[in-house]
Structure 1
Amino acid sequence: MEFIPFAISWNITSRCNLACQHCYIDAGCRDGGLPGDLRTDDIMKILPGIAAVNPGAVLILTGGEPMAHGDIYEICAKASSLGLMVVLGTNGTLLNPSSAKRLKECGVSGVGVSIDSLDEKIHDQFRGSPGSLKASMRGLLAARDAGLEIQVQTTAINANIDELPLVAEWAHKIGAKAFNVFFLVCTGRGQTMTDISPQSYEKVLKWASRVRNDFPGMMVRPKCAPHFKRILYEEDKNHPLLSTYIAACRAGTQYCRIDPSGVVTPCPYMDVPAGDLRTSEFGDVWKGSAVLEKYRSPKLGGKCGLCAFRLLCGGCRARAYANLGDEMGEDAYCAYEPSGREEAITSIDTVAKFGGGSEPSSNWSPEAEAIINKIPVFARSIVRLAVEKHSREHGAVLITPELLKAAAPSGGWGRPQPANAPPPKKAEEIPWDDDAYARTKNAPDFVRPGIYKLMQKRGAERGKNRIDDAFLSEIRDESMMLVSKRMKKTGFDELSMQSWNAAKDRFSKNAGRVETINRIVEFLDGREKKNEAIISKFKSYLEDDSPVVGWTPDAKSRLNKVPENFRDMAKTYIEKESLKKGYRMITEKSFDDVMNELPFAKMMTGGQ
């Protein structure tokens, strides 16, 4: 069987700006790398060799802190130009709008940022630097806003194990594509740390299985936790995730690591040299290393060698090495106890990893091959095996795009919308309270129809049963804010007759707009009594330079009560979610509507 590296983790530097308690390469708080670190030109020479073995591989650039490498952008651009899918594993503290934008321009696909707790004390202590949580959160949001896919990475420790559901909720709310739960391997600086118990390990894995469908658009993925496959099998022998890449250990079979000095190891947590890229090509090491070969035909010891899940799971080899000094020993952190030597359970995933399938390969049409080649390389072999199994079961001689679609779970790899879906029902008109309707009589005749239409639209967007006085005021304030922003674009900076005249000059070629301005001026001049409160509010909106949405003074006051380390994140999130809900002005009510949906609202608002 040919073994292809789907993912390579590369510690491109040993320099780092933090001092994390569990760091497996003992990086931290050093401005320069260690003397043995590869130079940039060495890195550039190695990259083509990786692409030659698998041009679609996922290249995880990490450290240390990858953003601390002086040539990070050049390295990313080179790797991306070779067809590699580049992602960064980072603490996020050095990410900002400018650096995130540049990473995107260099072809980086996404970033994984470590957030170990929403409690500043826990996270900062674990990461060895005060203020690191706040900086990491800002960096994560900067990456998201630059168009990079974001993943939140949390290491499960005793101090945060009960908080994992909360961190997952937060990750989903900010738009993370994955929430990765890492399990500690006591190596490097983490050698003296105490891992969570096997029982806690089991508890977290069962939670991850239970909530896997609770966060649309975000995967919950245990990492360095091959036991997750056993949990899934015990839950459902036909569980769809059993036939995926998720959770299983790929060390030496479809995954490896390159350390800062260019040495290849089976995974980041094992300093077991498989080859040196200063003197050898990556392809020669990958295909010819006796060290890596051990993982491709594993002879597991202890209970792992007896276990029915030895192919599906196989235990964490790094944890066995850290505890016993034997990478083929048993993983003591697994709670499962085999009853003698059990028959090995196999699946499409185990065949993709170790081989063993006796069925001949099917014939693929060029069109079907083109489709499957668009699937990410790390999942392609598993999908191919699943489709070929489906074709044999149905007696198909040739795999076509139609059969590829039929073999996909839940009706398709991309689920199409029904062609004959019924047209949406016309919404019924929302009734008005008498006092709210009476207030509209104060508006000019030519404005009133627009008010009625807007109130129906906003009411439907926000699920209103009636249009009352408070809701009318809220939408009025939003509308004033929007108008003020449009006025500023046309040159308005104050409320005066000179401004109206300037507007007429600007739109002199548009008779309709000039007529509208004349009617507004005529209406204002004809009013016996001016509403000074409204005029003052309108002036405040003209002075507001907020680029996205407006904030009322009361809402701004509420925002200022959010703890400082969460304030920027809260502001960004509230503005984003308010726009989704149709709010153009953030009032106290819209502030509450957004915050009430957050499970961590009290934490962010200081209990307000």
Structure 2
Amino acid sequence: MDCDALSGWSEDFLNRLNSEGRRLCIPMTGSMALTHRCNLRCAHCYAGPDMDPQSPGMCGEPSTERWLSLIDEVAAAGCLFLLLTGGEPMVRPDFAQIYRHAKEAGLLVTVFTNGTMLTDKILDLFDELPPHAVEISLYGATAATHDGIAGIPGAFDWSIAAVEKLLARGNRLRLKSVLMKPNLEEFPAIRALAEETYGVDFRMDAAIMPRLDGDTMPLQLRVSPETAADMEMSHPETRRKWAKAKSQSAHVTPSPRLYSCGAGVIGFHIDAEAQLLPCLITTNVAVDVSTKPFAEGWSEIVEIMAGLKAKTGLECQSCPHSVMCGQCPSYALMENGQADSVPEYLCELGRCRRERLERCGD
């Protein structure tokens, strides 16, 4: 559950909601990748670079009708928070219809978009039915850096125009970025663009992963764990977040489950081929819901995930620092080909975070 997006809600209520959802395995928070297609060609993208936005129905995308029925089904199953993503979700000409249906179903809808395909029609729809939040990625503070990473000239100007239009209409906007070698020198300026120029929340990630097809090329763009931790700790809010996680690490009880997160417990993802997954990157557990009712698929996912146990001796399960790395078996699967293994980059990043917090006295 994205608690950062629910800052107006009491922490006690969110904790109780999360606890009860986990106890009953209610799929409260989910995401739908409406398409794998995108009009950008981002160098680090886990989906791969060859998703032509002009190819309708590419990769067996569900029809409009199936997406609408899936929205009804997840709402009936107890979903509260729904993310619409892609690819670039606005590539689909029926995006507005799908978005409207999700809002009218009573869901709190967040949209991930690069902003380049935002139209006046969609802005008018957001006026009528406001999104819970819109998130746009900026990979540079200048057009040269952003466009170089996004792979399309003009992408920066289009995204910035979308940011300004969304803010002018009062939408709740967050900006985010992926720290990587091509934007390392510009990263403080990216953060300043978000927080100081536009006055919006900003979040960063440095954990670039292999592509879903196994291609490891994006890993060449990673900065070192030391550099990533230094950048995180230079930001007071991010440092406070990790300091809080560190303070809670002593109270973490090892779980016999391989996946100790909310994937397949309260969280789900439906990809652009109507495969129901526990989360976006847990691709080794999937149920086809192109025709099968969501409720049946969810029951199968819950059972499968509950049955996946951590192997005896797996360091991550007993590591007192696991909260500092965001320990993720699916990340390990993508990186090492084995879910019950140590994802070395995340492990080292967690160690660096802890060292820097201790150095600061946090």
**Fold conserved between structures, TM > 0.5:** yes
SS in 2 for 1:23: coil
The answer to whether the 8 Å contact 2:147/2:156 transfers is: yes
Q: Give 1:126's match in structure 2, choosing from 117, 139, 149.
A: 149
1:401-458 CA deviation, whole Å, 9 max, x = no partner?
Answer: xxxxxxxxxxxxxxxxxxxxxxxxxxxxxxxxxxxxxxxxxxxxxxxxxxxxxxxxxx
**Aligned with 2:227 (options 192, 200, 203):** 200
Question: Aligned partners of 1:204, 1:314: CA distance in 2, in Å?
Answer: 17
Question: Deviation per CA, 1:531-559, whole angstroms, max 9, x where unpaired?
Answer: xxxxxxxxxxxxxxxxxxxxxxxxxxxxx
Written as runs of structure 1 = structure 2, the 5 A alignment for 1:77-88 is: 77-88=100-111
* Match status 1:335 vs 2:339: no
Seen in structure 2, the aligned counterparts of structure 1 residues 50 and 118 have a Cα distance that, compared at 3 Å, is same
Structure-2 separation of matches of 1:175 and 1:166: 12
Alignment correspondent of 2:31: 9
C-alpha displacement at 1:201, in angstroms?
3.1
- 1:314 CA displacement: 5.5
State the SS of the aligned residue for 1:159. Answer: helix
Partner of 2:64: 40
1:185 is matched with 209
- Kindly tell me: are residues 324 and 186 of structure 1, through their superposed partners in 2, closer, same or farther at Cα, counting changes over 3 Å? same
Q: Secondary structure at the match of 1:100?
A: helix
Is 2:325–2:350's contact at 8 Å kept on the other side of the alignment? no
- Quick one: distance in 2 between partners of 1:112 and 1:221? 22
Distance in 2 separating the partners of 1:254 and 1:203:
33
Partners of 2:51 and 2:170 lie apart in 1 by 29
Pairs within 5 Å for 1:108-119 = 108-119=131-142
Give, in angstroms, the shift of residue 310 of structure 1: 4.1
TM-score, normalized by length of structure 1? 0.47
| Residues 44, 176 of structure 1: alpha-carbon distance in 2 compared, 3 angstrom cutoff | farther
Q: Secondary structure at the match of 1:268?
A: coil
- Superposition deviation, residue 42 in structure 1: 0.7
The alpha-carbon deviation at position 263 of structure 1 amounts to 0.3
Provide the rounded CA distance (Å) in 1 between the counterparts of 2:297 and 2:78: 14
Cα separation, 2, equivalents of 1:300 and 1:21: 38
What does residue range 124-273 of structure 1 map to in structure 2 within 5 Å?
Answer: 124-175=147-198, 177-182=200-205, 183-188=207-212, 191-193=216-218, 194=220, 195-208=222-235, 211-212=236-237, 229=242, 232-234=244-246, 236=247, 250-273=262-285
Q: Structure 1 residues 97, 169: CA separation in 2 closer, same or farther (over 3 Å shift)?
A: farther
What corresponds to 2:318 in structure 1?
306
**In 1, distance between residues paired with 2:313 and 2:334?**
15
2:299 to 271, 276, 287: 287
Runs of 4+ that moved beyond 6 A: none
Match of 1:292, as an amino acid? M
In 1: Cα distance, 2:101 partner to 2:31 partner: 16
Q: Is the 8 A contact 1:11 1:63 kept in 2?
A: yes
Letter in 2 for 1:75: I
Deviation sequence 1:220-251 (CA, Å, 0-9, x none): 599xxxxx75x5444x4599xxxxxxxx9543
CA contact 1:6–1:255 (8 Å) conserved in 2? yes
Greater shift, 96-105 or 256-265, is seen at 96-105
Q: Which has the higher contact order (CA 8 A, sep 6+)?
A: 2
Number of matched pairs: 312
Q: How far 1:278 sits from its partner (Å)?
A: 1.5
Structure 2 SS opposite 1:285: helix
Over 3 Å counting, the alpha-carbon distance change for 1:330 and 1:50 in structure 2 is same
Q: Structure 1: state its 5+ residue gaps.
A: 213-219, 223-227, 240-247, 339-608
Structure 1 residue 12: deviation in Å? 0.3
In 2 relative to 1, CA 300–96 (structure 1 residues): closer, same or farther, beyond 3 Å? farther
Give ranges in structure 2 of 5+ residues lacking alignment: 1-22, 251-259, 352-362
The two structures have a TM-score, normalised by structure 2, of 0.76
- How far off its partner does 1:330 sit? 1.4
